[in-house]
Amino acid sequence: WVKDANPSAELILKAQIHAGGRGKGHFDNGFKGGVQICDTPEEVQEKSGQMLGAKLVTKQTGPEGQLCAKVLVNEGIDIKRETYFAILLDRAHGGPVVVASTQGGMDIEEVAEKTPEAIITMPVDIGIGMTDEQAASLAEQLEFTGDLAAPAAAQFKALYALFAGTDATQVEINPLAHGS
């Protein structure tokens, strides 16, 4: 359990549904927010009780919402910087495309609308996969420098392997956080 290893840790409670915007969402029972920061296991239990079995309504679910049948609890970290990283199938490119931005941790659709120049788009040849050069270029464009560049590139390649290995249509990390 997180608190045994780190008694001062914040506990991050996240409703698990297939839609974005959970933090800004609301449940059909009146509870607000599908992402909660908790200080104690008891608080996690109390808030998860309000999430489980209720429908979470977000911008992406529509007014009917989605049933929350699972929650995730993890240790909070100190975040220095948030980026956005996704791999998705794109019809226009006829295969996988990496979509990334230095402006993570927020509604990526809003970033694309307001500052389209902040969006990085990189097609990946499905027959070859993500190359070392592409991974290194993404790390550089996302401003992972120095000792962070190689681990970031390795993470991007691992996420592509996950995408390809599970026959996924999308893998998204938001935020892809750089901790302190």
pLDDT in tens, 100-152: 999 986 678 888 889 999 999 999 999 999 999 999 999 999 999 999 999 99
Q: Are 52 and 66 in contact (CB under 8 A)?
A: no
Across the range 2-12, mean pLDDT stands at 84
Q: What is the mean pLDDT of residues 157-174?
A: 95
Tracing tokens 């974005």 back to the chain, one arrives at 20
pLDDT of 180 over the 70 cut: no
| Tokens of residue 110, six digits | 């809003």
For residue 52, how far is the Cα from the chain centroid? Answer: 21
Q: Has 143 been annotated as catalytic?
A: no
Q: What confidence score (pLDDT) does residue 1 get?
A: 66
Give the angle subtended at the CA of 25 by the CAs of 24 and 31, to the nearest 5°.
115
Q: Choose, from 10, 43, 82, 172, the residue flagged as catalytic.
A: 172
- CB atoms inside a 10 Å sphere around CB 100: 24
Q: 3-class DSSP state for residue 125?
A: coil
CA torsion 59-168-48-34 (nearest 10°) is -20
For residue 84, indicate whether it is catalytic.
yes
Question: What's the pLDDT at 3?
Answer: 77
| Residue 34, SS3 per DSSP | coil
DSSP code of residue 51? H
The pLDDT score that the predictor gives to residue 69 is 98
pLDDT of residue 15: 97
**Active-site annotation holder among 84, 113, 140, 143:** 84
Q: Tell me: pLDDT of 179 over 80.
A: no
The model's pLDDT over 13-31, given as tens digits with 9 standing for 90+, comes to 999 999 888 889 999 999 9
Q: Is 81 exposed, middle or buried (0-12, 13-18, 19+ CB in 10 A)?
A: middle
End-to-end Cα separation, the chain, in angstroms? 22
Q: What is the pLDDT of residue 121?
A: 95
Per-residue confidence (pLDDT) for residue 145, from 0 to 100: 94
pLDDT band at residue 33, thresholds of 50, 70 and 90?
very high
> Average pLDDT for residues 40-58, to the nearest whole number?
97
CA–CA distance, 8 with 25 (Å, rounded to integer): 27
Q: Are 51 and 57 in contact (CB under 8 A)?
A: no
Q: Tell me the C-alpha distance between 17 and 72, whole Å.
A: 11
Q: What is the mean pLDDT of the chain?
A: 93
**Geometric angle at alpha carbon 152, from 121 and 79, rounded to 5°:** 100
User: What per-residue confidence (pLDDT) applies to 96?
Assistant: 97
